Structure 1
């Protein structure tokens, strides 16, 4: 007969509920300690207040999941925690990080200088950069998810809450475990653990895991499965307890991944062919119509139209590439350019409707490596005092490259191998012999191909000291100080063979052909030069101007002192008061981007607007400093009630803080050549005032646990990013939110158990909130028209309809009109725009001489960027009104076995991907079902079978809008497909 202890340990805690009460509760405790009665819901000891306490005695909304709970729920990593915690959502973000959102507060700022809003901790030490998304849990004691700002003990970057992973550390008893698993997608997984008592006071523990799995997605062009898994983790730890008053442990955890994991999902776009009519003017020219196309329209991401490709003929670099000089075919007499003018690489391209099927030129490459070393020391001092020291070092390296567009271009490169020049001689610029163009990073192709690369290198040192009392007189304290030193370098590249073609043949005359690139340009020549990096993608120098590179270096130094005091006013009433003072210093080294910027021997680019031909130079460091006072005040009461076994009622106020930062710099451009409208160079810190009431209850002689919470947030300067001028522009918005949470476990007998949670969330942006929506710059104003800019101006603009009509109605040649429309977005007199420093030596003819009007783009709304969208009262992104989870399991006990069948169902209501709350932003409601069957013997043998995502659903969990100069397509994210497996494990 299986023991009651094992039975309790196997019983999980899921979450999710089918619509229960309008009260919602503080995260429910899951058992890590066995109960003494098979019909009693077990307790769990947590360290949410950095001291060991029963979860039902902690006046904080906290969910704790033991290793057994995680295994039964098949929660293998941080991305799946949302299935067990109310008011939590999760999605991968566009670059190297992710968005773990609690009560609507997550990380929607993607700048390298931004911080996460939910602190991720390893054994109570925060990790600024971590592998919460990629890494699978290994030999875990429990995972605690604290909801709401933790202003005293956890401090900075915990405005949303804390996810704290507590590992198993060495103990005095021998134990070991082996586990092997096989499943679909040729999945193979293994885990092992051994705990050895080397001496009476010294113990060591080792654990390791490995996962290999074929790809979830299929690339029909390369005929390969991608988005696979090949990752492994190890942890080595040692503990020494030479006396009752001294304890120390040292742990080293290593994670590594090297596979073809996809960083983002499919790219969706509702194609924008451009307007057929502007005002009263019919647009008959395709070239002019393309200059009035965004590339993609803001249509629903769920429509069939969203599976189109952008109108790439509207992109400035395609227009410029079509103007590269060619030669004459001696047979037909036809003049041939490397790429035909006005060609659209994506014309007629169909995007497979299956979110897991792609047709793309370039398979993903994904590499991640993470090391964490932690030393913990505890001293028991006289007078019932305890001193704790925690020292943590972490290093994180990340590299991810993939096809940028996830579309397969049409062949667009013309064969120039047999062309002749105007003198009848063989054409010198034989760049596309055989109809193939060579790009040193992307190789040879007859198509437009593009890839991106996101990589980061991070190091962190964290030190914390704490002194806590354990007195019996009703007054206790916990005081401490900590220090954080964090350094990061983040690089993001976008490669495109059309960029290289422009750099090589439009601006450079001294680079030899046939793929033999010179190391540098000749400084004595007058011709402007844009350096082409000759190195491969796997061994990149990183100093080329034939690709986009965003280089960001950030240093953070943070110091804090804190204290929390506990007063037992009576036997059933306690007051908790805490304060924290944080001093944050952030130093950013800005490196402007240099795409297609060059210079002549004078150090200036008359055409490109650049100052240098090669490499990147830093602007002066930007030093920011903030001092923040945060904390919390809590009153809790444990009344004796006739209808409960145990009850805790609490009310709290907490203040949270998250640092601000800098927006990345734009291109290092000569303002005489190209003018930009100014953007905010910095963004403000976040602050939140949080009010909460909650109740934790045990009923029915321990057979029912029912916890409920209600909260209200007053939020100031919430940070949200969008891509503007090729940078992640972070904006600040005030907001308020309120919500309810309910968690329950019901176990009426030893055979049957139900776990459920329910979250309701209501979020609203503050009055006066406004922002420019890049998908709808004109905001319905018919007197203004969205226009494509020239190559060196990254973002679209709005221009007066009357001026656009004057250009469209002109008798002048089409190419004049194309340049004139682009000129309305700014730039310089070199493209016919307004320039207060006009000098006739630069030509060409100004607009008023060609079209009869003068125009200063700076007089347009927001300098031509567009009209503000009023977003007052809109919902915060990734904030579904309802989240729910219900789990049910039934156990049989034949002979010396336990057989448990479990069903879990999760539901998330609709939400929005952006603050604008348009139909384009809507993320539809979705649900997810998992089932498992386990057979457990008294001697530690276990056989498990499970199916995750039973109905193989592919919901959109989030979306990210790309830049204007790529056509405004959306990267979308989804869940893993249906996974099933069977495992065998043995404990010794």
Structure 2
């Protein structure tokens, strides 16, 4: 593995994962003659990572840049797919809401998503912050390039970027008339169409409109509904209007709307592992007792039998106004934005064809408003950015979870007595938990970053950010029986309710909480960079960052006496110390680029998602792990050998661990039994032994963080030859790209049952392109590799592990025109 790492020489400070033949020549900033002298291809990659235009090799931070043409050529049409090109980016999704976007193993706690905490990887589109990670699942829409900024970016990008930021830039309106269209078809009934048109309306007003639509048959067959599920059904539109009366002033108005309406997101049976639950209450025994047989125990048969409705209805959009005004030696920028998110899910929470949880849905509606002012100043010796940022958000959620006819026999202790509650479906059938909740979040910040060019070679760059956050929430769960009567689980029934049975209260308990908290935080970083030679930049960075406080918004866990643990209402802010050194180099007349980064990030009070394994009491909540550490090495190599051949190789070694987490939930192999006595040291010696006593909590200090592969690589190459075909001059080309990820664990507390094997994927494309057109065929996952995208532990500690399998081999063709 080490030899492979050294050979591929992987992703680092500026991971140009775009083969140069796809990288359209960028509009270049004002740079000196040495900077303009580039490779024979002349492709200078321009970024705005520091809120100003500059070449990527000048930026003293770890950044991966993916050009829009490369995104299209490699089929990576959203952030979820983008991880195939950027090895230190990890994206896992069970549905749009429950999506984790991590960098270097950090960012989002692995597990069910809660509205009550911040993302650790900020997603920005044209300088507008997208607070909901669901934005990661939508198609890129008329994108010019994507910058993946690795490491804390709190100074310029805010409190929500302890792990990094994804900065997406779309194509802007032009005063020259231009347009493009793209059509792709493939197997699995895959269809994708994109179009954009831009041009002047008057001498001072230009407009741009872009649309995109994607559809594809599902990859998992549901024998119950007799249809393919986990399909793609996406539609998006973006419009922009640019008013530019002179070179010093411009206003850009933007609006976008995207929707998804697939039958998604189902799972398939993967495996069963022994827990500490009594053997007759584990999956195999329970399934046999009910005569239940899963359609297949081989997940790669792609069969499931889920009996609940599935839906992942998802709408997102908004409007923004960006004003740029050159004032003297600097530029004043104002970005005003409103965004919404509307989420209408339906899930099968028991992962089986039995009616255990017959209904599970948590529709949400979000509105967010943001305002940013910043002033950029540039001079010979000093550059700086100062700004103000304000943010306001409200999220409303209405949840319903209902028990089905098979719940009693599945969830209660079995008995041969026909009068036992476990043998009477009505014991739990129809029991319904209706949740009403809202979250209000307000944030304000003052920030600045200074670059002082001490000499022509040495630059010192300090940055600061002062941030205030306030969060308040409300959560109420009302539990009703099959007759619609509200139940109470207190000793004496509350007014308007009847006393619930022991069995009912063991599944759902009424609950009300109103968490609220606020905090001030101060973020700072300090960067020193030195230009060793014209094309060699060395840098070192220290960053003190944070992720703001969180509140538990999905219900609270119970104490040992079955009362609500209100102490878990809020979680502490994360405190981050980050260290990084890097080297950025170009050689062979700038035809070759090699960048190297080493980093170490330490986080105190890491916000982790934990789950006690109960079926309905609480699905998951936030808690603080005492300390987490991520460290590693990233490298990048790119070569433009000639106009005929380009290649790149990127890779990363990431070692991310819980340094100290003494009060973590136990993995399934140490769960399900009667709890060990309070105050007794946890005994881990009987993992997977049915009937054994289970620890009340587990110390998982020293174990790997979930979702992180220690080794990750991506590579690509393309060769072309000039030809005249059908009376048109152009190039025939052949390209290959691929990626590899080593094994990783898919449970918040690493489990022997949720280990995901490493895999390597390879993609090919071949085509003919010329002036204004490109026609090519492609095959992705060319060798039809079987791999798992995600594993989930079924609730109830029965040992069932369900999962989502990765895409099989797909193939098709694409035709593009531009003018």
TM-score, normalising length: structure 1 = 0.71
Question: Quick one: which of 504, 509, 520 aligns to 1:627?
Answer: 520
The number of aligned residues is 754
Give the distance between the partners of 1:772 and 1:449, measured in 2 at CA.
23
Listed as ranges, the matches of 1:13-52 within 5 Å are 19-20=6-7, 25-29=12-16, 30=18, 31-33=23-25, 39-40=40-41, 42-52=43-53
Change (3 A) 1:246 1:167: same
Q: Alignment partner for residue 145 of structure 2, among 142, 145, 151?
A: 142
Alignment partner, residue 709 of structure 2? 880
Asked whether the 8 Å contact 1:153–1:562 carries over to 2, the reply is yes
Return closer, same or farther for 1:677/1:188 CA change in 2, 3 Å cut-off.
closer
2:326 aligns with 380
Distance 1:93 1:37 in 2: 43
Secondary structure of 1:59's aligned partner: coil
Quote the residue 1:479 is aligned against: 386
The residue matched to 1:880 in structure 2 has which SS?
coil
Q: Which one of 566, 570, 577 corresponds to residue 451 of structure 2?
A: 566
Question: Is the 1:871–1:916 Cα contact (8 Å) retained in structure 2?
Answer: yes
Shift of residue 388 of structure 1?
Answer: 0.5
Is residue 907 of structure 1 aligned with residue 740 of structure 2? yes
Query: CA, structure 1 residues 871+928, in 2 after alignment: closer, same or farther (shift >3 Å)?
Result: same
Instruction: State the partner residue of 1:973.
Output: 804
Alpha-carbon separation, structure 2, partners of 1:21 and 1:686? 35
Q: CA deviation at 1:223?
A: 2.1
The secondary structure found in structure 2 opposite 1:194 is strand
Indicate whether 1:953 and 2:785 are aligned. Answer: yes
| 2:605 corresponds to | 717
CA–CA distance in 2 between the matches of 1:273 and 1:167?
50
- C-alpha distance in 1 between matches for 2:748 and 2:220: 30
Q: Distance in 2 between matches of 1:767 and 1:131?
A: 30
Equivalent residue for 1:334?
none
Corresponding residue for 1:337? none
CA distance in 1, matches of 2:503, 2:101: 40
Is this contact kept in 1: 2:38–2:44, CA < 8 A? no
Whole-angstrom distance in 2 between the partners of 1:66 and 1:147: 17
Please name the residue that 2:218 is paired with: 215
Task: Please tell me whether residue 358 in structure 1 is matched to residue 304 in structure 2.
Answer: yes
Q: Distance in 1 between matches of 2:618 and 2:207?
A: 50
1:688 matched to 2:576: yes
Instruction: Return the alpha-carbon distance in structure 2 between the equivalents of residues 23 and 226 of structure 1.
Output: 36
- Equivalent positions of 1:710-859 (< 5 A) are 710-724=598-612, 725-733=617-625, 734-767=627-660, 769-777=662-670, 786-787=673-674, 797-798=675-676
Shift of 1:90: 1.4
1:488 corresponds to: 395
The correspondence of residues 411-450 of structure 1 with structure 2, limited to 5 A, is 450=358
Return the offset for 1:461. 0.4
Matches within 5 A, 1:253-272: 253-260=256-263, 262-270=264-272
Cα offset, 1:969, TM superposition:
3.3
- Per-residue deviation at 1:115? 1.7
Q: Tell me what 1:838 maps to.
A: none
User: Gaps spanning 5+ residues in structure 2: where?
Assistant: 27-35, 410-425, 679-690
Which has the larger Rg?
Answer: 1
- For residues 476-514 of structure 1, give each alpha carbon's deviation from its aligned partner in whole angstroms, at most 9, with x where no partner exists: 221001001011123443333328999xxxxxxxxxxxx
Pick aligned residue for 1:657 from 543, 546, 559: 546
* Cα offset, 1:184, TM superposition: 0.6
Report Cα offsets for 1:748-798 as digits up to 9, x if no partner. Answer: 1221111110101112222463423052447xxxxxx814xxxxxxxxx45
Cα 1:144–1:467 change in 2 (3 A) is same
In 2 relative to 1, CA 141–21 (structure 1 residues): closer, same or farther, beyond 3 Å?
A: closer
Counterpart CA distance in 1 for 2:794 and 2:86 is 31
Distance in 2 separating the partners of 1:874 and 1:202: 57
Q: For residues 120 and 667 of structure 1, what CA distance do their matches in structure 2 show?
A: 29
SS class of match (1:872): coil
State whether structure 2 residue 348 is matched by structure 1 residue 456.
no
* Aligned equivalents of 1:170, 1:348: Cα separation in 2: 54
Shift in CA distance, 553/748, structure 1 to aligned 2, threshold 3 Å? same
CA distance in 1, matches of 2:524, 2:646: 38
| Counterpart residue number, 1:466 | 374
SS at match of 1:786: coil
Match of 1:390 in 2: 335
Q: CA RMSD in A?
A: 3.3
Distance in 2 separating the partners of 1:353 and 1:660: 39
Residues of 2 paired with 1:709 and 1:157: CA distance? 23
What pairs up with 1:270-281 in 2 under 5 angstroms?
270=272
CA 1:531–1:194 in 2, change beyond 3 Å: closer, same or farther? same
Where in structure 1 are there 5+ consecutive unaligned residues? 1-15, 276-287, 297-308, 314-342, 410-446, 503-528, 533-544, 779-784, 788-796, 801-823, 825-860
Work out whether residues 610 and 670 of structure 1, in 8 Å CA contact, stay in contact via their aligned partners in 2: no
Distance 1:869 1:140 in 2: 45
Cα contact 1:32–1:43 (8 A) shared by 2: no
**Matched residue of 1:113: which SS?**
coil
Deviations 1:661-711 (A, max 9, x none): 222475899999x65677633222212111111111111002101111111
| Higher share of residues assigned strand | 2
**Deviations for 1:297-319, whole angstroms, at most 9, x for unmatched residues?**
xxxxxxxxxxxx67269xxxxxx
Contact preservation (8 Å) 1:399, 1:454: yes
Given that 1:760 and 1:883 are in contact with CA atoms closer than 8 Å, whether structure 2 keeps it comes out as yes
Q: CA deviation at 1:605?
A: 3.7
The residue that corresponds to 1:929 in the other structure is 762
Q: Secondary structure at the match of 1:727?
A: coil
SS at match of 1:76: coil
1:96-132 CA distance string (max 9 Å, x none) = 2311111110312522212211111111221111543
Task: Kindly state the Cα deviation for residue 91 of structure 1 after the two structures are TM-superposed.
Answer: 0.9
Question: Cα deviation per residue 1:603-634 (whole Å; 9 max; x = unaligned)?
Answer: 4544438999xx99984532111111112111
Residues 71, 975 of structure 1: alpha-carbon distance in 2 compared, 3 angstrom cutoff? same
Report deviation, 1:348. Answer: 7.7
* 1:58-109, Cα deviation, whole Å (9 max, x unpaired): 0111111111121222211111111222322211046723111111103125
Q: Deviations over 1:572-621 (max 9, x none)?
A: 11111110001011111122352656157954544438999xx9998453
Residues 441-464 of structure 1: CA distance to partner in whole angstroms, max 9, x if unpaired? xxxxxx667242242211110100
- Pairwise CA distance, 1:159: 0.7
The alignment's TM-score, normalised by the length of structure 2, stands at 0.85
Q: Secondary structure at the match of 2:70?
A: helix
Separation of aligned partners in 2, 1:943 and 1:751: 18
Alpha-carbon distance between aligned partners in 1 of 2:226 and 2:777, rounded to the nearest angstrom = 31
